[in-house]
Amino acid sequence: MDPAQLAEASRSLEGRPAPEVLQFAMATWPKTAISTAFGPEGCALVHMAVQIKPDVPVFTVDTGFLFPQSIELREKFVAKYQINLTVLTGKVSMAEQERLYGIRLYERDADQCCALRKVEPTDRALDGLDAWIAGLRRDQGKSRAGIDLLERYEHKGQLLIKVNPLANWTRKDTWDYLLKNEVPYNPLLDEGYKSIGCWPCTQPVGAGDGERAGRWGGRKEECGIHTFMQRKG
């Protein structure tokens, strides 16, 4: 699709159920994969996708700083849904990172830590893909308010389509889906956490706080996975 065709396809999918957006993407772009950190949206998206294509590729990043509950949830998804999962880690090992940058880099330079532990392996995971499916919602925060269902990027000189099937969902929509379909989710979400990443940079928040308020002590909203590439349309 050229940019105009992609924009028209994105507009035509607005208001359609998320499974239809998923089905469209997987039928249109053969080399498609889902990324997830097994947050609520990712859990809903993976559950939805395997109903359409059981062997759809799914990738996740293990930063070395994951909560034990996050690892247990990942393993539960593999056991329950037999998902086609790839777990990636950074090329720079934790020991090498500490040698190069010192211990507790996340306290001094969270952007650098995220770049090494999260962005770099995600960048590799996108190699060779036609489309990348992510579980972003517009109402999660200012940094995501302008996302479209279909977006055009260039990755290492190749066209890459980013698909956001849950763009129009709310937090309530997500939880309604999880509970209705008995989809497993991270138990930390019942303990005051609204968004879960690495344990050093994730805190529980108050009932009235935004979903991303508990990440990085409020210093930033994004780790870089969804901002390291420049959108082309």
Range of lowest pLDDT (35-44, 106-115, 123-132, 222-231): 222-231
Tokens representing 75 are: 């393993």
Is residue 233 over pLDDT 80? no
Q: Identify the structural domains of the chain with CATH numbers, from first to last.
A: 3-218 (3.40.50.620)
pLDDT band at 32 (very low <50, low <70, confident <90, very high): very high
* pLDDT reported for residue 221: 86
Write out pLDDT tens, residues 142-182: 889 999 999 999 999 999 999 999 999 999 999 999 999 99
Please report which confidence band the pLDDT of residue 199 belongs to, taking 50, 70 and 90 as the band edges: very high
Q: What is the mean pLDDT of the chain?
A: 95
Instruction: Give the pLDDT mean for 57-73.
Output: 98
Q: Structure pTM?
A: 0.94
Give the residue with greater pLDDT, 87 vs 143.
Answer: 87
> Which tokens sit at 160?
């890459």
Residue 130 CB-density burial (10 A; 0-12 exposed, 13-18 middle, 19+ buried)? middle
What's the rounded mean pLDDT across residues 34-44? 97
Q: How many CB atoms are closer than 10 A to CB 54?
A: 11
Helix (H, G, I), strand (E, B) or coil at 103: coil
Active site residues: 223
pLDDT at 143: 86
The predicted structure's pLDDT at residue 208: 86
